């Protein structure tokens, strides 16, 4: 029947909305959904990284040793992409120092160490009963002050994303509740218990972005959440769309394709086609920020995995150490082999359990050998093409792999390496167990490095040519015995360009007190430079390599 509809070009109403490719790995979600959403006790020490995403650190506004209260502003964003940081509970700032944080890898970042006092004393927050009375820019300001960033994954500042999309104009706002990656159930737990608040949050986001249409998109297998959402949406103009439950339905590009049928153009953001996507967790944080007046100090995090005795979803304070949460769930360290932050397909392995929960940490998985067996040995690619069937970006992973191995950068870029969203669907289906995504990451890095070094050598080449040109000009002036007017700027430039390689130029600024002496010195320097013309080229190459 579906085939007939497809042939006739009709849309089958029963068919869930879908996108290219995708995989259906075992979900492993029921385990953590057995219990209700729970708040955590307050840990003794909270680690608050000054940056929750890849952007620059926020600027602290409190001093070390100062006592802070819950909801108090600790650091304000240093740049538009940054997010503000608030105290999740009351306590004393014991230090601001480097600590390991899992943002892209487990590299140390600047963190505030908050020694909690257990009192949980809060500053007064201003609740806003009727948010509809506020203008959309006022709402936007509230979100910016609340320090909300995308709670689904990349952690892009929500206020920034909204203001960019306001400028471009948005027709469709999608609230992403697909949560397609195995093990993660935070959004489902949230919707199951607080769907009404999420719907208010979505409503606020719609009124800020001025979108004509707002859609909540959820995977069709989340029946409980769909039930509560349907009830919550009864009086709302927001639509509910069920998506095919396959991975990566929750990818921004994929959810846009599934909901609207449009594709985000390569190298552009969704607002360029009039679409804006926000995570359902972000919508809830927006509700809390606007209606309750509370800044973003907690998030819902799934704790799951076979070594945990009571896997569940926690409403976790930002900055809680991972080890504290694992202990709360009763971890069986005998079978605990490792930990992941994020889902099992795109998550990052934790090397250190003292890292804090970030605004983007939606899931913490304790791995066991039975669920996460050691990687099978990598076999040869037989070009079976399963990966191409699974790829949601419609790439040819088998070709990319071949070009990645042969370091054929031209071909690999022609085949769309930079359109790869690194979802890992290809590696999941690979019968030869090739870690394809690792190959693509390596190639991306290689190409970026190559481009950077090419740009740098171009810069050095230009500077060298300018340097030669200046020498030529000065020489002409000397030969014609014209009175030379020394342009200090040009000398500075010359010094600047030679500072890394040549010591001769250090004499020039010294001579500046006497015009004649300066002329003499320049003439000498020029003669020296002329004598070593070929040497200069060599040294310039050395500079390029050295810097």
Partner 1 sequence: MLLVIAACIPGVACSTWYFGIGVLINIVLAASMAIALEACALKLRGKELRVHLADNSALVTAVLFAIALPPGSAWWLLAIGIFFAIVIVKHSFGGLGQNLFNPAMCGYLLLLLSFPLDMTYWHIPNGGVLGGDNFTVLSLAGFGQSITASLPIFNHSQIPLQETIDGLTMATPLIEFEMGASSALLAARDAGVSLFSRSSETAWELINIAYLIGGLFLLYKKIISWHIPVSIIATITVISTLFYAPASFAIYGTPYLHLFGSATMIGAFFIATDPVSAATTSRGKIFYGIIIGLVIYSIRVWGSYPDSIAIAVLFGNFCAPALDYFCRPRIYGHGSKPKHKVQSEPES
The contact set with partner 1 (CB under 8 A) reads: 20, 135-137, 166-171, 210, 253, 257, 262-266, 268, 272-274, 377, 379-385, 388, 392-396, 398-399, 415-416, 419
Closer residue to partner 1 (CB): 106 or 432: 432
Q: Which of 84, 29, 90 is CA-nearest to residue 53? A: 84
Which residue number, 62 or 381, has a Cβ lying nearer to partner 1? 381
Q: Find out whether 52 and 296 touch, Cβ atoms under 8 Å.
A: no
CB closer to partner 1, 167 vs 235: 167
Min CB(348)–partner 1 separation in Å: 24
Q: Would you say 62 or 166 has its CB closer to partner 1?
A: 166
Cβ contacts of residue 466 below 8 Å, gap of 6+? Answer: 493, 497
- Which residue bears the tokens 């999420």? 198
Q: Diameter of the chain by CA atoms?
A: 95
Measured CA to CA, the distance from residue 344 to residue 306 in angstroms comes to: 13
Q: Residue 406's Cα: distance from chain center in Å? A: 30
Three-state SS sequence of 362-395: CEEEEEECCCCCCCCCCCCCCCCCHHHHHCCCCC
Q: Which is nearer to partner 1, 137 or 292 (CB)?
A: 137
Kindly tell me which of 408 and 466 has the beta carbon lying closer to partner 1.
Answer: 408
Minimum Å distance from CB 354 to partner 1?
Answer: 38
The least CB distance from residue 412 to partner 1, in Å, is 12
Least Å from the CB of residue 406 to partner 1? 11
DSSP secondary structure of 268-316:
S-GGGGTEEEEEHHHHHHHHIIIII---S-EEEEEEESTTBSS-EEEEE
Work out how close the CB of 409 gets to partner 1 at its nearest, in angstroms, rounded to a whole number: 16
**Cβ atoms 280, 173 nearer than 8 A:** no
Nearer to partner 1, 260 or 540 (CB): 260
Q: How far apart are CA 469 and CA 539, in angstroms?
A: 18
Name, in order, each residue with C-beta under 8 angstroms of 216's C-beta and a sequence gap of 6 or more.
Answer: 174, 175, 177, 198, 199, 202, 229, 233, 238, 239, 240, 241, 280
- Closest approach of partner 1 to the CB of residue 241, in Å: 20
Burial track 13-41 (b if 16+ CB lie within 10 A, e otherwise): eeebbebbbbbebebbbebbbeeebeebe
Nearest distance, CB of residue 507 and partner 1, angstroms: 57
Cβ 250 to partner 1 shortest distance, Å: 15
Residue 522 has, within 13 A of its CA and on its CB side, a CA count of 28
Q: Whose Cβ is closer to partner 1: residue 204's or residue 363's?
A: 204
Closest CB to partner 1 among 262 and 517? 262
Shortest separation between residue 14's beta carbon and partner 1, angstroms = 24
């Amino acid at each position: 029947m579906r085939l007939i509809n497809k042939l006739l070009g009709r849309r089958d109403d029963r068919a869930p909305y879908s996108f290219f490719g995708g995989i259906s790995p075992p979900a492993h979600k029921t385990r953590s959904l057995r219990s209700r959403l729970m708040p955590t006790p307050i840990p003794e020490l909270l680690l608050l990284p000054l940056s929750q995403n890849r952007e620059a650190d926020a600027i602290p506004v409190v001093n070390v040793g100062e006592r802070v209260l819950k909801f108090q502003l600790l650091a304000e964003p240093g740049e538009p992409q940054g997010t503000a940081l608030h105290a999740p509970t009351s306590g004393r700032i014991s230090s601001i120092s480097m600590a390991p944080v899992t943002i892209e890898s487990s590299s140390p970042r600047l963190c505030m160490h908050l020694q909690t006092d257990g009192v949980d004393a809060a500053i007064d927050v201003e609740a806003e009963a009727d948010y509809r009375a506020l203008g959309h820019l006022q709402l936007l300001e509230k979100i910016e002050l609340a320090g909300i960033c995308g709670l689904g994954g990349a952690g892009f500042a929500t206020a920034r994303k909204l203001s960019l999309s306001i400028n471009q104009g948005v027709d469709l706002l999608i609230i992403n509740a697909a949560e397609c990656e195995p093990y993660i159930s935070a959004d489902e737990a949230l919707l199951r218990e607080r769907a009404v608040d999420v719907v208010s949050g979505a409503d606020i986001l719609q009124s800020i972005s001025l979108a004509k249409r707002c859609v909540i998109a959820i995977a069709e297998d989340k029946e409980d959440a769909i039930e509560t959402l349907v009830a919550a949406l009864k009086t709302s103009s927001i639509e509910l769309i069920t998506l095919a439950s396959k991975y990566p339905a929750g990818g921004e590009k994929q959810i846009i394709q599934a909901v609207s049928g449009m594709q985000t153009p390569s190298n552009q953001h969704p607002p360029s086609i009039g679409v804006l996507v926000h995570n359902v967790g972000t919508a809830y944080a927006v509700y809390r920020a606007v209606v309750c007046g509370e800044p973003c100090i907690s998030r819902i995090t799934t704790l799951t995995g076979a070594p945990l005795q009571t896997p569940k979803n926690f409403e976790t304070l930002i900055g809680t150490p991972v080890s504290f949460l694992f202990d709360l769930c009763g971890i069986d360290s005998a079978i605990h082999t490792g930990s992941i932050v994020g889902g099992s397909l795109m998550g990052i392995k934790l090397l250190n359990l003292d890292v804090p929960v970030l605004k983007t940490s939606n899931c913490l998985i304790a791995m066991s050998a039975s669920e996460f067996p050691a990687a099978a040995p990598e076999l040869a690619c037989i070009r079976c093409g399963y990966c191409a069937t699974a790829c949601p970006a419609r790439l040819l992973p088998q070709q990319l792999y071949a070009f990645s191995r042969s370091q054929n950068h031209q071909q690999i870029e022609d085949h769309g390496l930079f359109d790869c969203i690194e979802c890992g669907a290809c590696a999941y289906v690979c019968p030869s167990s090739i870690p394809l995504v690792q190959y693509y990451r390596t190639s991306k890095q290689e190409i970026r490095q190559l481009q950077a070094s090419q740009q740098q050598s171009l810069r050095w080449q230009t500077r060298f040519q300018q340097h030669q040109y200046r020498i030529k000009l000065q020489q002409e002036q000397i030969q014609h015995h014209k009175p030379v007017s020394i342009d200090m700027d040009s000398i500075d430039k010359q010094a600047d360009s030679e500072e890394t390689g040549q010591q001769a130029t250090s004499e020039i600024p010294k001579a500046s007190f006497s015009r004649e002496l300066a002329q003499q010195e320049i003439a000498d320097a020029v003669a020296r430079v002329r004598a070593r013309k070929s040497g200069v080229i060599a040294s310039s190459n050395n500079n390029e390599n050295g810097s």
